[in-house]
Each structure stands twice: as C-alpha cells, then as structure tokens.
C-alpha cells in the first residue's frame, strides 16, 4: 500500500508541475518577486496567540532541533550522495538559511518575511546564491531555479492569529525545468513535511508563550 501511495503521489506531482493555478487572493509581497511559478506549496495553521508573538516565534525558531527535519536532511544527503550538512551556527532557522546563501527580499515587520535564492537543487551538494531584491524578479540566468518563500502572520479579531508559509519555484529555462521537475517529483514529500513541521513547532511554541503570559 505504501508503495502504491508513493507511486500515486509521484505521478500526481509530475502531472501538476507547471500547472499550479494562481491563488484566488495572491500574496502581494511575494507576487512582487515571483508572480508566476512552476510549483507552489502553501500551508497555514490557526495559532492561539497574538500575531506579534507568533511572528517572533517564527523568526526565532531553530528547525534543526526537530528530529524529523534532521532526518529529512540526512535522507536527502544519502539519496543524492552529498557530503555532510554544514554544522549549525547555533542561531535561528533564518540565521541558518542566510548563512547558506539565502537573502531577505522584503519584510513587513511583524507580518511577513520573504526570502529568496537561486540554485541548482538537483546537484548533490546544493549551493544557494543570493540575488539582490531589485534583481530577483528579472533573474534569467540559464540552468537555475529561483525559489522564494515566506513566513507570514495575520491577526484575528479574537486575539489569535493565522501563521502561514508559502514556497514558490520557477526554472529559468527548459533544461532547468526538466531537471527540476524530476527532482521535485522525488523530494517534494520531504519539503511538504518540513513546512508542516514548521507550522507545528511555531504553533506549539507561540501558544506556550501565550499561556505563560
């Protein structure tokens, strides 16, 4: 059954590649950098904590403490034949990804942060290359994939908030699109699990802080 489910998921992911419809209500900040895309992953969760607390937790979160995420990174390393992952800097997840080459494209303090990089994710030891925010949307260097992702928080009238994360990716030419489509079909389950784990951890910690207050 597990093999059939995995095969079905892979076939669906392959088919959906490049066919992802635009959301009914877009993310204006993210749209500024990637209005069109080959793939899109969006996840959100209701958090019983204020938007300010939830956003602070999202910025400070250290995802490498999650055994699930550690396992996913290790699985990718083994699958792709890469070297060991770089040692943790001991900072937040956002500090970690910036140390790897990601760049902050834009931020609305307390509400949303957009990160971006260009890369060739199909290579064993992937390298992320930051691009200035003013050049990101127009970047078209061949054989690359542009990736932009957000963490965002929306306040609710009852004092709770909705935490969300969205990832978009766009290949710069047909060759990169072909390579990335194969790669995405293989690794997207892990990416989805990382995003869902991020939501779970943010919700858990933000609600803990809210209760302690």
pLDDT more than 70, % of the chain: 89
**Residue 86: its pLDDT value, please?**
55
**Residue 5: its pLDDT value, please?**
43
Domain boundaries, the chain: 2-19+27-212
- Which is higher by pLDDT, 116 or 80? 116
Pick one of 1.10.10, 3.90.550, 1.10.287, 3.30.530 as the CATH number of 2-19+27-212. Answer: 3.30.530
Q: Which two tokens stand for residue 129?
A: 């290359």
**Residue 2: its pLDDT value, please?**
39
The residue-averaged pLDDT of 31-48 equals 95
Neighbours of 60 (CB within 10 A): 14
Chain position carrying tokens 């047909």: 174
Q: Which two tokens stand for residue 25?
A: 């209500």
Between CA 113 and CA 26 the distance in angstroms is: 15
Q: State pLDDT tens for residues 125-155.
A: 899 999 999 999 999 999 999 999 999 999 9
Inter-helix orientation angle 67-80/174-212, to 10°: 160
Looking at every residue in the chain, the average pLDDT score rounds to: 87
Neighbours of 27 (CB within 10 A): 19
Nearest to 167 by CA among 194, 185, 144: 194
């Amino acid at each position: 059954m597990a093999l059939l489910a995995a095969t079905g998921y892979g076939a669906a992911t392959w088919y959906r590649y490049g066919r992802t419809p635009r959301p009914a209500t877009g993310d204006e900040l993210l749209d500024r950098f990637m209005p069109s895309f080959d793939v899109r992953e969006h996840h959100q969760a209701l958090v019983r904590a204020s938007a300010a607390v939830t956003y602070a937790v999202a910025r400070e979160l250290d995802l490498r403490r999650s055994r699930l995420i550690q396992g996913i990174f290790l699985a990718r390393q083994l699958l792709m034949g890469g070297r060991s992952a770089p040692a943790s800097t001991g900072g937040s997840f956002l500090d970690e990804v910036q140390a790897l080459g990601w760049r902050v494209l834009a931020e609305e303090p307390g509400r949303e942060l957009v990160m971006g990089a260009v890369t060739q994710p199909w290579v064993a030891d992937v390298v992320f290359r930051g691009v200035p925010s003013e050049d990101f949307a127009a970047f078209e260097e061949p054989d690359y994939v542009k990736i932009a992702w957000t963490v965002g928080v929306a306040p609710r009238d009852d004092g709770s908030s909705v935490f969300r994360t969205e990832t978009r990716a766009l290949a710069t030419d047909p060759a990169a699109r072909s390579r990335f489509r194969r790669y995405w079909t293989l690794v997207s389950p892990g990416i989805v699990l990382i995003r869902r784990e991020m939501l779970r951890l943010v919700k858990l910690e933000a609600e803990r802080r809210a209760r302690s207050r």
